[in-house]
Structure 1
Amino acid sequence: MNDFNTLELQTDPRGFATLWLSREHKNNAFNAEMIQELIVALGKVQSDDSLRFLLLRGRGKHFSAGADLAWMQQSAELDYNTNLDDARHLAELMYSLARLKIPTLAVVQGAAYGGALGLISACDMAIGTDNAQFCLSEVRIGLAPAVISPFVVQAIGERAARRFALTAERFSGQRARELGLLSECYPVAELEQHIAHWVDNLLLNSPQAMRACKDLLREVSHGAPTPAIRRYCENAIARIRVSPEGQEGLRAFLQKRNPRWQTSPSILEPRS
């Protein structure tokens, strides 16, 4: 059963989860409850060793319209310390998503405004429809994309982030792909078949190797190849070569057969 009011967390028997934003009547806009439930849901995903990767999606017409207006109105009436607590909860959500040990893929349709760009940017990969609409809209209402800014800058680069954060211009899925926010964009009618292709492709990969890759890329992404980074990388490949999945993958390659992690059933109904 689904334990959430604003989300749905579904687990597929093939070994991956889909986390749905599910406030369709509010265009999946954030409020305090959704933020807290997202933190809890990501904790469940993080603790489930059977999961190989996570899809992040939005129910209905839009991925997420950003912050809920009623919640924002309440925030405007709160003092500094209470607003700081709210900001810390949102930051915990973004950092929890970015630190997740398994690969994450955001799937975007319709609108993705404000904080929704933070969720997309905190994922390892994102795909969407070519007519999706993105906007860092905060300056239009006297705010700034503060908590999400490190993830947005990392996703699209500082120069582009300056432009779109300062102008609050809307941009399309096609432009999001050019900026690197989306890995690929597709016609609306073709989105589901392409999601299936991404799922099938990820299921080909060693779960342990994908986790090791995430750790590796997190370690090497912020600086020059120092002696310490060199030692880390040398140890990383040595560890994975002698691991059970590393050994199985090498044996399978040499024996011209599929590794064991590719033997999962192909099409099964998800469970909530």
Structure 2
Amino acid sequence: MEESPVLISRDQRGIVTATLNRPRFGNAYNGALLEALIEGLRALAPDPTVRALVIRGNGKHFQAGADLNWLAEAAEYPPDRAYEASMGTVTAMQLLNEFPKPTFALVRGACFGGGAGMVCCVDVALATPDAHFGLTEVRVGVSPSPISTHMVNAIGLRHTRRYALTGERFDAAEALRINLVHEVVAEDAIEARLAHILDETMLSGPTAMANTKDSFLGANGLKLDARQMSQLGHESRTQRGSAEGREGLAAFREKRRPAWYQPPTSG
């Protein structure tokens, strides 16, 4: 039987680990991974025995964004199914952002697109020095609509405008500077650092933390309602299915520059 794309485990204290489990693909998400993540978050959120949630990737990478083969397939879906595909990403991010327990991300290797979106949605993000990041959707002609609000909330409009428009990749030091991650910790020390912060968190009252988190998001207008989520899903679906979206995905698969690229002129 094929292993689940998201592995859920918990320790005796109620700390749950969700391991993104597509290591051959850099843990890039497709429909199945999103469905598993959504199912897991919905089941864990009301469980009073769950004290914290840690998200990590299986293998060398945290999460390399969307599986571009899946995106190309979704670009050919009929409108209703294409919208549902986009809403999978929107919903997974919303559930993670509003998860009522403290959430953590441990980032190694690649963290692109939706992976960076996940990091924006957690309460505490730790990265190793080798981690590398990018809001790279525009490079393949699609938009980061499903994670856009979370990027602005986490790193601010100014940094989001730069990195979501240029598609530049950046290192862990830059991720720390722009507040995408809270700490950069050496590989041989990061597990101990995560364990220490989790132990500190266990001293906090579970209901107090849930209420505190709810007030942070609610009082500052950072929760998404159904209309906002639908708008994000529609924007994502529309751009992905456009001629530009199809060309960007085709260019990536064919390892060439997209048609809209113009090289610098000399002289």
Report the TM-score when normalising by structure 2. Answer: 0.79
- 1:149-168 paired onto structure 2 within 5 Å: 149-168=148-167
The answer as to 2:20 corresponding to 1:21 is: yes
Residue 30 of structure 1 aligns to a residue in which SS?
coil
What is the aligned partner in structure 2 of residue 119 from structure 1?
118
Corresponding residue number in structure 2 for 1:98: 97
Q: Which amino acid aligns with 2:146?
A: V
Question: What is the rounded CA distance, in whole Å, between the counterparts of 1:210 and 1:25 in structure 2?
Answer: 36
Deviation readout 1:43-88 (Å, 9 max, x if unpaired): 1211311111111111110001111122112112223332211111
Contact conserved, 2:128 with 2:190, CA < 8 A, in 1?
A: yes
- In the TM superposition, 1:114-263 aligns within 5 A as 114-222=113-221
Question: For 2:26 and 2:130, how far apart are their aligned partners in 1?
Answer: 17
Q: Which residue of 2 aligns with 1:37?
A: 36
Give me the whole-angstrom Cα distance separating, in 1, the residues matched to 2:171 and 2:61. 13
* Structure 2: runs of 5 or more not aligned: 223-267
Aligned residues: 222
Q: Deviations over 1:11-69 (max 9, x none)?
A: 11112111110111111010000000000010121131111111111111000111112
Partner of 2:260: none
For 1:189, what is the secondary structure of its paired residue? coil
Contact 2:25 2:67 (8 Å CA) reproduced = yes
Deviation, 1:131, is 2.3
Paired with 2:103 and 2:195, the residues of 1 have a C-alpha distance of: 15
The match for 1:88 is 87
Tell which structure's C-alpha radius of gyration is larger. Answer: 1
Identity %: 36
Paired position in structure 2 for 1:110? 109
Kindly indicate whether residue 54 of structure 2 is the aligned counterpart of residue 55 of structure 1.
yes
User: What's the RMSD between the two structures over aligned residues?
Assistant: 1.7
Name the counterpart of 2:248.
none
* Structure 1: runs of 5+ lacking an equivalent: 224-272
Cα 1:90–1:4 shift into 2, 3 Å: farther
